């Protein structure tokens, strides 16, 4: 599965990640005022992002869940529920 930079940015917006530009695009997920997890994407030019496997792992998603999230079938509430089930919240 491949992730494009635009898809990553849309996903971060949809799931409610905060972002900051610092050479790379840093993104972190906050819940109840606490940073729960973070990831980043490179700003290198090209279609597919490098280190896609690490991005998926840092977001605590398996490939099917990431695919569903990119297809807009996975909401912020679904993501919070998933993180609660994994004991991260």
With 0-12 CB in 10 A as exposed, 13-18 as middle and 19+ as buried, what is 4? Answer: middle
Write down the domain spans for the chain: 5-85
Model pLDDT for residues 6-51, shown as the tens digit of each residue: 888 899 999 999 999 988 899 999 999 999 999 998 877 667 777 8
Confidence of residue 59 (pLDDT cuts 50, 70, 90): very high
The C-alpha angle 6, 8, 15, rounded to 5 degrees, equals 125
pLDDT at 37: 94
pTM of the entire predicted model: 0.83
């Amino acid at each position: 599965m491949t992730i494009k930079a635009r898809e990553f940015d849309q996903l971060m917006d949809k799931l409610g990640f905060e972002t900051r530009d610092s050479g790379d695009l840093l993104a972190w997920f906050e819940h109840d005022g606490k940073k729960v997890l973070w990831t980043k994407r490179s700003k290198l030019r090209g279609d597919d992002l490098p280190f896609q496997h690490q991005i998926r792992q840092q977001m605590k998603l398996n490939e099917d869940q990431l695919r569903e999230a990119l297809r807009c079938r996975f909401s912020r509430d679904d993501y919070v529920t998933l993180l609660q089930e994994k004991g991260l919240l």
